[in-house]
Amino acid sequence: MRAAVQTPRGERCPYAKKCGGCQMQNLRYEDQLRWKQAQVQRQIGRFCRVQPILGMENPLHYRCKVQAAFAPVHGRTVSGIYQSSSHILVPVEHCMIEDEGAQRIVADVRRLMPKFRVTPFDEDARRGVLRHVLVRRGWATGQYLAAIVSFTPVFPSKRRFAEALVRLHPELTTVVLNVNRQRTSMVLGSEEHVLYGPGFIEDELCGLRFRISASSFYQVNPPQAERLYRAAIGMAQLTGKESVLDAYCGVGTIGLAASSQAGRVAGVELNPAAARDASGNARRNNVRNARFFAGDAGEFLRDAAAGGEPFDVVLMDPPRAGASREFLEAVCATGPRRVVYISCNPETQARDLRFLTSHGYRAERAQPVDMFPFTHHIENIVSLSRA
Ligand code: SAH
């Protein structure tokens, strides 16, 4: 890697060394994009042409989901980020990739704590109250959600605390109290109480409205997610008649965005809560040609084909580990005309492309999209057609 250079606006993160969240902190944005392009070229270039990566015009403060950990340090309350792969809390006031409005809300939670006698949670002594604050912003709607994560359900004057916070931040349309008593690095626990507003915010993506609660699965960089989905749907070359599978569908965003250009859409997702959210999203957006199912993508595709309902197009967006062998075999056995493979790990994507291209598919082109500036994460789409 090249020498340390400042970011486009000439800023440099003062926490970079301690925090470790942004691995590409030392590169100018255009050099980050060049590096990502080269990675995709190296992994995927032997299968097809790689188009220039779609970067962000302004790569700062893009994270619409912000999590801050709280702890007592020498009698004071500190909030910040746990150093990657350690348990050291780095106090962070201004993060370059997090939404600025969300960071102001976190700072005001911290300032309100003494007034309400809310103590930070001490992990070693397992004493104290406030563990984390999670803030989400609806990118298009400007609505904000704050989740106060507490070690105990007994949170001093919780409603008045929420009211005081909303008075400082009228953009907060909902505040929830989440209780997490577990010994875990997970931020959220399973118990939730709504303190203010409806308990969720809404956002708009690809002309559709999505409901987002504290625990919802939702892309953290919505404008780039929209570009990713539009590129993927474009590569699917839909004419309005096709039967489309949205495999590994999360809360159904891609399938719903594709539904107006397809005959019918089925989505499959392992996490039952996300699959339920996907059905709710379909209903609330009056999408009538999409159905969502909870289950394993490979089994679902195999069963659908055995039941005489094969798909013309498969859109797939598996986790970092890539698709299962069973899923890839089911694709090849059922023979969709086109496959559009969205991946957050070009290495496993290359492995899966090796399988698909040696079992009857031809890779046509690749389109990388930068979803996570300043980090080393790479997102890439590849379109394939039946050879
Ligand atoms: N397409 C969605 C989510 C992609 S993340 C979006 O763009 O927002 C990958 C998703 O695959 C996760 O929601 C995860 O729960 C799901 N998943 C993981 N293993 C799976 C499997 N075997 N079958 C179906 N879904 C799976």
- Please indicate whether residue 352, judged by its CB atom, sits closer than 6 Å to ligand 1: no
Confidence (pTM): 0.93
Alpha-carbon distances, residue 143 vs 162, 177, 204, 219, 293 (angstroms): 16, 18, 11, 16, 29
Which of 365, 367, 304, 294 lies closest to 331 in space, CA to CA? 304
Q: How far apart are CA 151 and CA 131, in angstroms?
A: 6
114/201 same-domain check: yes
pLDDT: is 196 or 184 the higher one? Answer: 196
Report if residue 24 sits inside a domain.
Answer: no
Residues 203, 204, 210: CA angle, nearest 5 degrees: 60
* Residue 305 belongs to some domain of the structure: yes
Which residue of 65, 211, 244, 248 sits with most ligand 1 atoms within 8 Å of its CB, as the best mutation to test the pocket?
248
Last residue of a domain, one of 177, 212, 247: 212
- Distance from Cα 229 to the centre of ligand 1, integer Å: 15
Average pLDDT over residues 153-172: 97
In a domain, 240, yes or no: yes
Whole-angstrom distance between the N-terminal and C-terminal Cα of the chain?
39
Measure 318 CA to ligand 1 centroid, in angstroms: 5
269 lines ligand 1 (CB under 6 A): yes
Ligand 1 pocket, residue 268 CB under 6 Å: yes
pLDDT in tens, 279-311: 999 999 999 999 999 999 999 999 988 888 889
Concerning whether 344 is annotated as a catalytic residue, the answer is yes
Residue 317 lies in a domain: yes
CA distance 278 to 267: 8
278 and 200 in a single domain? The answer is: no
Choosing from 194, 212, 230, the residue where a domain stops is 212
Residues 85 and 188 in one domain: yes
Among the three residues 212, 233, 266, which one is the final residue of a domain in this structure?
212
Which residues does residue 205 pair with via DSSP β-bridges, in sequence order? 208
- C-beta separation of 316 from 298 below 8 A: no
In a domain, 11, yes or no: no
Number of domains in the chain: 2
Joined tokens for residue 4:
């340390």
Within this chain, do residues 373 and 228 fall inside the same structural domain, yes or no? yes
Pair 203, 305 in one domain:
no
Phi, psi of 111 (to 5 degrees): -70, -30
What are 247-268's pLDDT values in tens digits? 999 999 999 999 999 999 999 9
Assess if residue 17 is contained within a domain.
no
Q: Where are the alpha helices (DSSP H) in 117-240?
A: 158-168, 222-235
CATH number of the domain to which 268 belongs: 3.40.50.150
69 within domain boundaries: yes
Report residue 49 as tokens. 């042409």
Maximum C-alpha span of the chain? 68
Q: Tell whether 242 and 365 lie within a shared domain.
A: yes
For 355, the 3-state DSSP assignment is helix
Q: Are 379 and 238 found together in one domain?
A: yes
Q: Are 204 and 289 in a shared domain?
A: no
pLDDT of 7 reads: 53
Q: Mean of the per-residue pLDDT values for the chain?
A: 94
| Distance in Å, CA 351 to ligand 1 centroid | 18
Q: Give the amino acid at 318.
A: P
Q: Output the domain CATH number for residue 103.
A: 2.40.50.1070
pLDDT attached to residue 332: 95
> Same structural domain for residues 162 and 240?
no
pLDDT at 81 over 80: yes
- Of 210, 224, 249, best ligand 1 pocket probe by most atoms within 8 Å of the beta carbon: 249
Annotated catalytic residue within 48, 249, 332, 344: 344
Q: What's the half-sphere exposure (Cβ side, CA atoms, 13 Å) at 150?
A: 22
Statement to judge: residues 87 and 231 lie in one domain = no
- State which residues form the domain around 289: 29-58+221-386
Q: Is residue 156 part of a domain?
A: yes
Alpha helices in 145-190 (DSSP H): 158-168
| Pairwise CA distance, residues 283 & 261, whole Å | 17
Same domain, 132 and 275: no
> Position 351: which residue type?
R
Q: Which of 76, 182, 180, 183 is nearest to 132 (CA)?
A: 180
Whether residue 203 is found in the same domain as residue 120: yes
